[in-house]
A and B are shown apart, each in its own frame.
Chain A
């Protein structure tokens, strides 16, 4: 297994996916930290290409999924899968942050638990907190109580977000 730098890895991804990458860059934490700078890959793909990209990355190393973040973009939800490759090598670990956007009218995303079993808890969390429909995992609550009202998603910033009567002490 060859250990690639962030730039080499991005080049490989670009070769493979070309136009299908919506965003692709290597971001550096230069100013904010001591040298050598930490460099991380940030890419955005369509949800149809998402699993293919993950499988492509798995050819280099078994990825460590830290977590999937989610942001409400208005009409869309952006999911960001924070995945790290080449763990265990000094200064060599590379984080690949894969952004995938799903429309709120059809918030479906395929599960990746068949590739990375540890992804289950974060996928369940996206389901209950952001109202993303992860296809292929059970529709059960993880962090929210079983009797939490249906159709309320705490991280949304639209009408499905928590109302004032739910939010009492946190504002």
Chain B
């Protein structure tokens, strides 16, 4: 009779991982198909942006900050600008505060719809992927009309924003609001009422309230676990002071909070509707006036060079709270110190509890469920701990496993 051997394997996933097109390395310990533990190693795409920022002056860093993330480029620009404004005491006109909120919400719509498409793809619903991204095109077009660009909008400047919302841009925004109002029910029905989506997501990747709190989760990931936190609501900044923002919890739709993948779907899809409402409210309340307190950049530069002090800027990004800390020294052109805390950094620690007791085929959707801003997978190496053999699975294998699981469930 063979001696009982506790068979557990290590499965390194990444650095190129299975959800988004960015690198992160996850090493899974598995027993059969069941995931027991996971170790996360980010940093495969560390570009030293904070170091670069400390070699540049604040006005240059706005544009650098905007390029930290390709999806939510506005969030770093607004957080950084708010931090420097606090350190240097630069006032902002009211109209600019509203415009900041409007662009922030447009970005949330496009980011959540992008995520919805990726999540659908990971489950094997490519028609839904194309449908979500078709809806996303509307907000991308309007972003281009309002800011001049689809990504990296270049809207932020110390003391205000760089472009005004003219009557014709306002018309485009109202058009967009109507478009999303018309389509939102259909979108929610396709994602939230589909029995196969429910089978794949309900009860998987659970993050409890306690874990979310202790692991410092932020954004929709925290809210899906019942943590009612939202920077726009708790410590309102910019235009959000005048607007009605409530943190969205999954019980608004389902009546209960479980903290699983399905709840994360619910929160993000409801937030698309919320953002549309916020934009409408902002457009109704926005006052006339200047859009910046100091349009001349050389003058701003002089103020910034004289400034001394610490600044702390926050923004509720689509993925959660973004924090920038800035220290300015008088007489120095460049930043003295700069720390960027992106939202995925905050959510990094929440993966291990989510993966507990899921299967290898669930890896892509669990990874995608926190809407990580880091990676995509090219290959998976399966290491047998006892024999030290390695089986290399490529991204296609992992995606195939996920799709096969969906098809299996559909047949049942």
Contact = CB atoms under 8 A, between A and B. Distances in A.
A89 B213 contact: no
A135 interface: no
Interface string B322-343: 0101010000000011010100
A97 interface: yes
B51 interface: yes
Contacts, number: 137
A32 interface: yes
Contacts of A137: none
Nearest to B43: A143
B250 to A, nearest CB: 15
A66 B52 contact: no
Contacts of B310: 42, 80, 97
B234 A38 contact: no
A33 B51 contact: no
B43 A66 contact: no
B312 A97 contact: yes
A31 interface: yes
A89 B54 CA distance: 35
A171 B52 CA distance: 6
- Interface on chain B toward A: helix, strand, loop, or mixed SS? mixed
Contacts of A89: 234
A117 B236 contact: no
B86 A88 contact: no
Contact of A32 (B85, B236, B348): B85
A144 B43 contact: yes
B89 A116 contact: no
B123 interface: no
Contacts of B52: 170-171
Contact of B43 (A33, A67, A86, A141): A141
A14 interface: no
B50 interface: yes
Given A117-B214, A142-B43, A143-B43, A32 B337 contact: no
A71 B336 contact: yes
Interface residues of A, number: 51
Contacts of A33: 82, 85, 92, 97, 237-238, 241
Which of A32, A80, A82, A122 counts the most B-chain CB atoms under 10 A from its CB? A32
Contacts of B92: 32-33
Contacts of A34: 94, 97, 238-239, 241-242
A29 interface: yes
Interface in B232-279: 233-239, 241-242, 247
A121 B54 CA distance: 22
Nearest to B325: A69
Contacts of A72: 337
Nearest to A125: B345
B128 interface: no
B4 interface: no
Contacts of B234: 84, 86-93
Interface in A56-105: 62, 64-67, 69-72, 80, 82, 84, 86-93, 95, 97
A133 to B, nearest CB: 19
B89 A69 contact: no
11 contacts: A29-B85, A31-B89, A33-B92, A62-B213, A66-B216, A71-B337, A86-B234, A88-B230, A90-B233, A154-B51, A167-B48
Given A122-B341, A144-B43, A170-B47, 11 more contacts: A64-B216, A66-B323, A66-B341, A67-B323, A69-B339, A82-B325, A88-B227, A88-B233, A92-B234, A97-B312, A116-B214
Interface of A: 27, 29, 31-36, 38, 40, 42, 62, 64-67, 69-72, 80, 82, 84, 86-93, 95, 97, 116-122, 141-145, 154-155, 162, 167, 170-171
Interface of B: 41-43, 46-48, 50-52, 54-55, 82, 85-86, 89-92, 94, 97, 213-217, 227-230, 233-239, 241-242, 247, 310, 312, 314, 321, 323, 325, 327, 336-337, 339, 341, 345-346, 348-349
